[in-house]
Amino acid sequence: MITGKNNIGFELSGEGKKTFSAVNPDNFTEIDNSFFSATADEVEQALAKSEVAFEQYRLTTGKDKADFLEKIADELLALGDVLVQRAVKETGLPEARIIGERGRTVGQLKMFAELVRDGSWIEATIDTGIPGREPLPKPDLRKLLVPIGPVVVFGASNFPLAFSTAGGDTASALAGGNTVIVKAHSSHPGTSELVASAIIEAARKTGMPDGVFSHLQDAGFSVGQQLVTASEVKAVTFTGSFKGGKALFDLANTRKEPIPFFAEMGSTNPIILLPGALKDNPSELAKMIAGSITLGSGQFCTNPGLLIGVDNTLLEPFKQCLGEEISAIASSTMLNKRILDNYEQKKSEAIRQNSVISLSNNSDDSENKGTPLVASVESEVFVTNPKLQEEVFGPYSLVVNCSDRTQLDHVVDQLKGQLTVTIMGTPEDLEEFGNQIEKLKNKAGRIIFNGVPTGVEVCPSMQHGGPFPATTDPRFTSVGTSAIRRFVRPLSFQGWPDHLLPAELQESNPLDIWRLYNNEWTKSN
Amino acid sequence: MITGKNNIGFELSGEGKKTFSAVNPDNFTEIDNSFFSATADEVEQALAKSEVAFEQYRLTTGKDKADFLEKIADELLALGDVLVQRAVKETGLPEARIIGERGRTVGQLKMFAELVRDGSWIEATIDTGIPGREPLPKPDLRKLLVPIGPVVVFGASNFPLAFSTAGGDTASALAGGNTVIVKAHSSHPGTSELVASAIIEAARKTGMPDGVFSHLQDAGFSVGQQLVTASEVKAVTFTGSFKGGKALFDLANTRKEPIPFFAEMGSTNPIILLPGALKDNPSELAKMIAGSITLGSGQFCTNPGLLIGVDNTLLEPFKQCLGEEISAIASSTMLNKRILDNYEQKKSEAIRQNSVISLSNNSDDSENKGTPLVASVESEVFVTNPKLQEEVFGPYSLVVNCSDRTQLDHVVDQLKGQLTVTIMGTPEDLEEFGNQIEKLKNKAGRIIFNGVPTGVEVCPSMQHGGPFPATTDPRFTSVGTSAIRRFVRPLSFQGWPDHLLPAELQESNPLDIWRLYNNEWTKSN
């Protein structure tokens, strides 16, 4: 079923001389198939098709887009165990996780299908005219959201399904009426190709235009660079490291025409351990947090890499429990050799810093696996050593000991923008540390009370994004229904004949959607 | 009343050695007062105050922000005729226009006051938890919009009130809970200072923190450059030329931390003259369009600089009428010498291009005034000469003659992103030229039928923005209630105790706002 070729719209193409293979991260051996890196010419073809298809696809009704998205979900499931096993082989993630992630991916596609079938997402806003207004007549104005054009999606290494070929970025961009070109992540090219074939199949079956979706492989940087600087492209999304995201963001800034570039990058996702949380049951708290640190080998954007305690006496038993919990957790396969090497290097670097003490003692005997580690440091050292403030992507976390509130203030002031901040404590703690909590609200996209940051619910109220360096634009989210807003812009119609308006704006509200009509939310007019 | 000093929060400061004066554009003589360009140190002070004040101001309730905004409106009106006369003297705009613009400015402040007093703008989105959900519990998640931080607003030359010190950018940024630093436009420094004093007075009277607003003068570029690259600044807005906007945008892109930079820049605002519009009453159409071209000396962002006809036979009488109308319109004072010189130069350049024919014959005898001009060119020439496609800021418009639909297609394909596109014709024309209209919808923020693009209604359904180069981000507007979205970001609360949530998110909905509650818009829960 895997051809190794690129999908240039409905056509399979493998014209290039450069090929690469996927590598099984369990043993670092190549997996049979080889994949053609897309040539500059193939990238051009995909861009041209995407631009042409956009002119047709952007006019597709919400109902038809919903059918397309649901068909993608069906085709994805129809790939069955072939997809699951390929993903397991390419990522080293357990089968249950891949099956769970497939469920989430299918759920996202269906959520966006529901959103565009319902239609209210389009923010229809109507102000009826007042021809007799003095000194000037008030025109009839009606606004809705329209797609912006071809969107480039970079697949992420850590979510081979939910943030890759048919992940949330693709689903939200297609839902918004944009055509999509995916640059597959080279860490799971076979998984990506299988998913791409499901999207292409769904597009054919639901009558979508050739070029609504293209899928390009590359083990290097040239395809990504060509896409980011192409004039046809009107938005880009990226999920990955700060280094990778910032480099592409800077490249996009050299474009003649600026475009939205949404990168979701690094985050240390601090957990603040307030006294009330440490008092009652430190061992249970440690167990919960240890689970979050090591879930999926710690390879989540929301992995808690920083635990900040405010009371050293209460913190001691917790640290001991946490060390024991982590020590009992086995090493595990990481997504690829680069991530593993990077993890081991950054972890070693962190632990070598002055005054950093290891809390766990896992045996580090497996060459091909990431070994968890938790360490501890005094807050005075932490605030003066930038090395300790960096994200270590993997099953690692650093406990920062603050002996009083002033020290906590210093640590909080030092924190950069985050996807999440978590507070563990009692409601009374929340009030007592109100000043610090307020500051933290200003530094994160999501603030959690007595939970763990891993596990990102897909729903309208989710904000998965945050101030820089967590993302390049905190005003948007990459998870949940609002993710569609990254790829749409408002268009106002002034004085337009009613029957020639988009259905969403016609006076009789034929689609029965929620609208802001003369400043009131209503389904009638 | 005019001190010539900068407002560093509540303090007046004029420490610099560089000063400049306003110039009366009627006669190019300096107006009495001189103004202190802010020093680097004064800019630093304003930034520091803005950052500190933000921590307090962002927690201000909607009701208190509304009081502040309304008080600004009151204080602005209380400046009375002093403000009006100063603005007339500094801009050369007629008194009636300034009074009208003051009305619009006051209206904008009151609109945002109403918006934040009502509170529903905050997009409260609630998904209640399902503790028993399998395989994992669903957390309680609640999201709202929060301010992003200190905002820098560049005053615009062409709207001394409505797009300057207390204009729509300042009003929407303050409404969103952000502190504001205005870089006053050097073309109307006295007007700006008077308005700034009204804002400061309002801030004092309503108990807003020192630093909620600062106001800096500079006749050069250094203050603007320092502000755009300052780490304290979290967003910038600019309204002006493409050259100025793009230069600041590029400068902002060199920052370590990327920030939203919303620039509203050039636009030729094409009017498409379909056959039905030309048939009936070409002289009335010409009169209406001539009025729009020359309104305010053509110094509007939405000034129609391009008129595209599809039928040469029908176009001839219209062109003749338009030439006559324009020829009868007197030269008028432009905003400043730079704008006047630039206008005369660009106009001369355009008319000197091969095959461009003048349609009007105004006598060009006033040295200090901008003289209107309409010219005409065949579409084949237009599409191959980029000089003719550029905006000429002032009372100028170019009629492009397309002899058939293919030529219209070529012209439409050539058009860049626009703030507005206007269609003149019958509903039948709209249907007949459906393909072209669809393409045009993809190139503009607002599309007008049988109206003129000048006159930008301030209301929820207005989109004043558009694809590049009209703006740097077509997903936002600088006019209307949605302008607030440029300066706010979503924040999600997960598992938070109800009584410690912001009032907007508490289960009982104490503020009685519209909320998306478990995917339904409602004021109850």
Q: Render B71-133 in DSSP notation, one character per residue.
A: HHHHHHHHTHHHHHHHHHHHH---HHHHHHHHHHHHHHHHHHHHHHHH-GGG--EEE--BTT-
Helix, coil or strand: residue A373: strand
Tell me the pLDDT band of B18, cut-offs 50, 70 and 90.
Answer: very high
CA–CA dist B233, A391 (Å, integer): 25
pLDDT band at B302 (very low <50, low <70, confident <90, very high): very high
3-state secondary structure of A142: strand
Residues of A annotated as catalytic are: 264, 301
Pairing status of strand B515-517 against strand B520-522: antiparallel
The mean per-residue pLDDT over the stretch A90-104 comes to 97
Residue A524, chain B, CB below 8 Å: the answer is no
Buried b (16+ CB within 10 A) or exposed e, A358-370: ebbebeeeeeebb
Nearest Cβ partner for B447 among A469, A488, A493: A493
Q: Residue B216 above 90 pLDDT? A: yes
> Is the CB of residue B82 less than 8 Å away from at least one CB of chain A?
no
Question: Is B138's Cβ below 8 Å from some Cβ in A?
Answer: yes
Q: What is the mean pLDDT of residues A88-115?
A: 97
> pLDDT-based confidence at A460, cuts 50/70/90?
very high
Name the residue among A213, A158, A226 with its Cα closest to residue A187: A158
Kindly report the average pLDDT of chain B as a whole number: 96
Q: Is B33 buried (19+), middle (13-18) or exposed (0-12) by CB count in 10 A? A: middle
Chain B environment of A514 (Cβ under 8 Å): 521
Chain B residues with CB inside 8 Å of A135's CB?
A: 100
Average pLDDT on A213-217 reads 98
DSSP state of A493: E
Nearest CA in chain A to B430: A500
Interatomic CA distance for residues A61 and B434, integer angstroms: 17
Contact B424, B321 (CB under 8 A): no
Closest A-chain CA to B129: A457
Query: Closest approach of chain A CAs to the CA of B350, in angstroms?
Result: 24
* Of the listed ranges B247-251, B278-282, B323-327, B436-440, the one predicted with least confidence: B278-282
State the ipTM, two decimals.
0.97
User: What residues pair up with B377 in beta bridges, in sequence order?
Assistant: B400
Count of residues in chain B: 525
A126 and B492 within 8 Å at the Cβ level: the answer is no
pLDDT in tens, A52-63: 999 999 999 999
- In which band, very low, low, confident or very high, does the pLDDT at A525 lie, cut at 50, 70 and 90? confident
Residue B127 at interface with chain A, using a CB cutoff of 8 Å: yes
pLDDT in tens, B101-160: 999 999 999 999 999 999 999 999 999 999 999 889 999 999 999 999 999 999 999 999
Burial (CB count <10 Å: 0-12, 13-18, 19+), residue B80:
exposed
β-strand pairing of B6-8 with B11-13: antiparallel
Cα separation, A224 vs A165, whole angstroms:
14
Residue B312 pLDDT exceeds 90: no
> Where does the pLDDT of residue A394 fall: very low under 50, low under 70, confident under 90, or very high at 90 and above?
very high
Tokens of A459: 């729903």
With residues binned 3-state (H G I as helix, E B as strand, rest as coil), the percentages for chain B, rounded to 5, are 40, 20, 40
Whether A435 has its CB under 8 Å from any CB of chain B: the answer is: no
Rg (CA), chain B: 25
Give the model's pLDDT for residue A241. 94
Task: Give the integer Cα–Cα distance in Å for A150 and A276.
Answer: 51
Half-sphere exposure of A314 (CA within 13 A, CB side): 19
A141 to chain B, closest Cα gap in Å: 6
Q: Report which of B248, B324, B256 is spatially closest to residue B286, judged by C-alpha positions.
A: B324
Q: Hey, is the C-beta of A446 within 8 angstroms of any chain B C-beta?
A: yes
Q: Determine the pLDDT at residue B280.
A: 85
Element (H, E) at A149: none
Q: Which sequence positions of B are flagged as catalytic? A: 264, 301
Q: Strands B373-378, B357-358: parallel, antiparallel or unpaired by DSSP?
A: antiparallel
Q: Which residue of B has its CA nearest to A495?
A: B449
A chain contacts of residue B483, beta-carbon cutoff 8 Å: none
Residues A369-382 pLDDT 10s = 999 999 999 999 99
How much is the pLDDT for A363? 87
Residue A169: strand pairing partners? none
Output the CA torsion B174→B178→B183→B185 (10° steps).
-30
Instruction: Count A/B contacts: CB-CB distance under 8 Å.
Output: 194
pLDDT of residue B392: 97
Planar angle of CA A115, A117, A119, nearest 5 degrees: 70
Residues in A 364-383 with any Cβ partner in B closer than 8 A: none
pTM assigned to the model: 0.97
Q: Which residues pair with B374 in a beta bridge?
A: B397
Contact between B31 and B23 (Cβ < 8 Å): yes
8 A C-beta contact, residue B373 and residue B396: yes
Least Cα separation, residue B362 to chain A (angstroms): 29
Structure-token pair, residue A327: 């020590």
Mean pLDDT of B489-510: 98
- Cβ distance B438 to A59 less than 8 Å, yes or no, reads yes
Tens of pLDDT, residue by residue over A230-278, are: 999 999 999 999 999 999 999 999 999 999 999 999 899 999 999 999 9
Provide the 3-class DSSP secondary structure of residue A272. strand
- Closest residue on chain A to B520 (Cα): A514
Cβ of residue B244 closer than 8 Å to a chain A Cβ: no
B239: helix, coil or strand? strand
Amino acid at B8: I
The dihedral through the CA atoms of B392, B397, B403, B409 has a sign that is positive
Mean pLDDT (chain A, rounded): 96
The pLDDT tens digits for A21-47 are 999 999 999 998 899 999 999 999 999
- What are phi and psi for residue B96, nearest 5 degrees? -60, -40
Interface probe, candidates B179, B492, B523, chain A, greatest A C-beta count within 10 A: B492
Spatial CB neighbours of A396, under 8 Å, sequence gap ≥ 6? A293, A298, A305, A343, A346, A347, A350, A372, A373, A374, A375
Query: Could B468 and A253 be called an inter-chain contact, meaning their C-beta atoms sit closer than 8 Å?
Result: no
A326 pLDDT above the threshold of 90: yes
Task: List the structure tokens of B276.
Answer: 């039905």
How many Cβ atoms sit within 10 Å of the Cβ of residue B244? 17
A475 to B58: CB separation less than 8 angstroms, yes or no: no
Q: Decide if A255 touches B, using CB distance below 8 A.
A: no
Q: Is the pLDDT of residue B289 over 80?
A: yes
pLDDT digits (tens, 9 = 90+) for B364-389: 777 889 999 999 999 999 999 999 99
DSSP state of B164: S
How confident is the model at residue B448, as a pLDDT?
98
What are the pLDDT digits (tens) for A109-135? Answer: 999 999 999 999 999 999 999 999 988
Interface residue of A494, A507, A518, A519 to substitute, partner B, most B CBs within 10 Å: A494
Rounded to an integer, what distance in angstroms lies between the CA atom of residue A84 and that of residue A105? 13
| Residue A353 tokens, joined | 């810093």
Q: Which of B143, B441, B461 sits opposite A142 (nearest CB)?
A: B461
For the record, the structure tokens of A150 come out as 């071809």
Fill in the DSSP letter of residue B138: B
Q: What is the DSSP letter of B188?
A: S
Amino acid, res. A343:
Y
Residue A367 has pLDDT above 90, yes or no: no
Where helices occur in A336-458 by DSSP H, the ranges are 337-352, 379-384, 386-389, 405-414, 427-432, 434-441
* pLDDT tens-digit series, residues B452-490: 999 999 999 999 999 999 999 999 999 999 999 999 999
pLDDT in tens, B270-285: 999 999 999 989 999 9
pLDDT, tens only, B36-69: 999 999 999 999 999 999 999 999 999 999 999 9
Round to whole Å and give the CA distance between A92 and A195: 18
SS3 A73: helix
Report CB contact under 8 Å: A492, B136: no
Using a 10 angstrom Cβ sphere, with 0-12 exposed, 13-18 middle and 19 or more buried, the burial of residue B179 is buried
By CA distance, what is A446's nearest residue in B?
B492
At residue B311, does pLDDT exceed 90?
Answer: no
List B520's β-bridge partners, or say none. B517
- Distance separating alpha carbons of residues B468 and B49, to the nearest angstrom: 34
Asked whether the beta carbons of A351 and A358 are under 8 A apart, the reply is yes
Alpha carbon distance B474, A296 (integer Å) = 38
